């Protein structure tokens, strides 16, 4: 049971999502989630206790957690851009216990009240959805604009869900998984290609009359995919890198310079993205249930995480760890 300060909230975890970064940490491949560590950062839960200075929450409140907080004093934090604060802190990093635990602590600004009717599992899916939402909000997409979404894992799917809020036109998706391609079409993609059997650049160029798409989202850290993104993006279009590319990534910069394309980075989210996500969910415009592939108990989660790490579940979008079974046992 973690202790809390006057400004903090103690939360009883009800549901937690498994992120690819958790799998990387499990395999010892994450740059700063270094074992031994209790990882996990996608969660919903019930407020168990609050510090004396906390005013917005009380025990019993249902909350989702934004799992990072800025220093509060730097140039970026003063502009509410704390997602790029050089001294921000994150749940599940170092001594800050992650959400794969029965209880966690969070600062008050990191907590957002869940809408009525939102399940614990949907609450845990708000964090990954906020990643895709922030990426989409990072660029201007005109109504009817053309878009490509390369890689349809969790974040690619959240990008697709977020694009539905913009009024985008034709959306083209790629993924090696047939199940994920089918799901991408269900979530709004006009067409989805298997890059192992179809040249996605040629397919997109043909379907846009030789022009290319206005915006491309790169959601998988494969250098060839980034190259494809630049080739299928129209002149003066935008490529958004959502994926975390480890190490050196060769890019032919002439594809950016010569055609005045823009290469944009996007990192996590801010509270404004959380508020937008919860508001759009309340309006019935965001289907978070579609992201959830399976629900497992905390007791069974080690076996499932090992399978995910071994690549035994290639069609998985989002595994949710639920804590109800632990309470009953």
pLDDT digit string (tens) for 261-319? Answer: 999 999 999 999 999 999 999 999 999 999 999 999 999 999 999 999 999 999 999 99
Which pLDDT score is estimated for 250? 84
The answer to whether 178 touches 194, Cβ cutoff 8 Å, is yes
Which pLDDT score is estimated for 103? 97
Structure tokens at 181: 């391609």
Predicted TM-score of the model (pTM) = 0.95
Q: pLDDT above 70 covers what percent of the chain?
A: 98
Q: How far apart are CA 89 and CA 104, in angstroms?
A: 14
Which pLDDT score is estimated for 184? 97
Q: Position of tokens 């008050």?
A: 108
Q: What is the DSSP letter of 288?
A: G
Q: How far apart are CA 20 and CA 126, in angstroms?
A: 16
Each residue of 88-101: pLDDT tens digit?
A: 999 999 889 999 99
Which pLDDT score is estimated for 247? 77
Q: What is the DSSP letter of 263?
A: E
Give per-residue burial for 191-202: e unless 16+ CB within 10 Å, then b.
bbbebeeeebbe
Q: How far apart are CA 267 and CA 244, in angstroms?
A: 9
| Residue 59 CB partners (closer than 8 Å, separation 6+) | 47, 48, 49, 50
Listed residue (318, 164, 163) closest to 240, CA to CA: 163
**Which of the pair, 272 or 29, is modelled with greater confidence?**
272
User: Would the pLDDT of 150 be above 90?
Assistant: yes
User: Would the pLDDT of 328 be above 90?
Assistant: no
Q: What is the mean pLDDT of the chain?
A: 95
Q: Which domains does the chain have, with CATH numbers?
A: 8-130+269-328 (3.90.180.10), 139-265 (3.40.50.720)
Q: Average of pLDDT values for 51-55?
A: 97
Which pLDDT score is estimated for 329? 40
Listed residue (38, 19, 36, 16) closest to 28, CA to CA: 36
Widest pairwise Cα distance in the chain? 63
**Which of the pair, 70 or 29, is modelled with greater confidence?**
70
Each residue of 218-274: pLDDT tens digit?
A: 999 999 999 999 999 999 999 999 998 877 888 899 999 999 999 999 999 999 999
Q: How far apart are CA 57 and CA 7, in angstroms?
A: 11
Q: Average of pLDDT values for 137-147?
A: 95
Query: What does each C-alpha distance from 270 to 79, 107, 274 come to in angstroms?
Result: 11, 14, 7
Helix or strand run (H / E) with residue 147: strand 147-150
Q: pLDDT above 90 covers what percent of the chain?
A: 89
Listed residue (196, 154, 147) closest to 173, CA to CA: 147
Each residue of 175-193: pLDDT tens digit?
A: 999 999 999 999 999 999 9
């Amino acid at each position: 049971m973690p202790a809390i300060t006057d400004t903090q909230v103690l939360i009883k975890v009800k549901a937690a999502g498994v992120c690819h970064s958790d799998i990387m940490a499990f395999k010892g491949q994450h740059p700063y989630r270094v074992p031994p560590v209790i990882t996990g950062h996608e969660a919903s839960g019930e407020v168990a206790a609050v510090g004396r200075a906390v005013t917005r929450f009380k025990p019993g409140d249902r909350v989702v957690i934004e799992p990072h907080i800025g220093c509060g004093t730097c140039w970026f934090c003063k502009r509410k851009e704390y997602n790029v604060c050089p001294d921000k802190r994150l749940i599940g990093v170092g001594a800050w216990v992650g959400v794969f635990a029965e209880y966690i602590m969070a600062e008050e600004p990191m907590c957002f009240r869940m809408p009525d009717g939102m399940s614990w599992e949907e609450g845990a899916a708000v964090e990954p959805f906020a990643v895709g939402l922030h990426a989409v909000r990072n660029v201007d997409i005109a109504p009817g604009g053309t878009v490509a979404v390369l890689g349809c894992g969790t974040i690619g799917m959240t990008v697709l869900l977020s694009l539905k809020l913009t009024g985008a036109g034709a959306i083209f998706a790629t993924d090696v998984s047939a199940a994920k391609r089918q799901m991408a079409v269900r979530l709004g993609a006009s067409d989805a290609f298997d890059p192992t059997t179809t040249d996605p650049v040629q397919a997109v160029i043909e379907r846009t009359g030789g022009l290319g798409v206005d915006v491309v989202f790169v959601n998988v850290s494969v250098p060839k995919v980034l190259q494809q993104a630049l080739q299928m993006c129209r002149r003066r279009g935008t490529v958004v890198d959502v994926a975390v590319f480890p190490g050196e990534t060769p890019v032919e910069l002439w594809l950016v310079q010569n055609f005045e394309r823009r290469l944009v980075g996007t990192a996590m989210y801010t509270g404004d993205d959380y508020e937008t996500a919860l508001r759009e969910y309340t309006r019935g415009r965001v289907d978070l249930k579609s992201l959830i592939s399976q629900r497992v108990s905390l007791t069974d989660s080690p076996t499932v995480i090992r399978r995910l790490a071994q690549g035994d579940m290639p069609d998985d979008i989002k595994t949710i760890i639920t804590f109800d079974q632990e309470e009953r046992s």
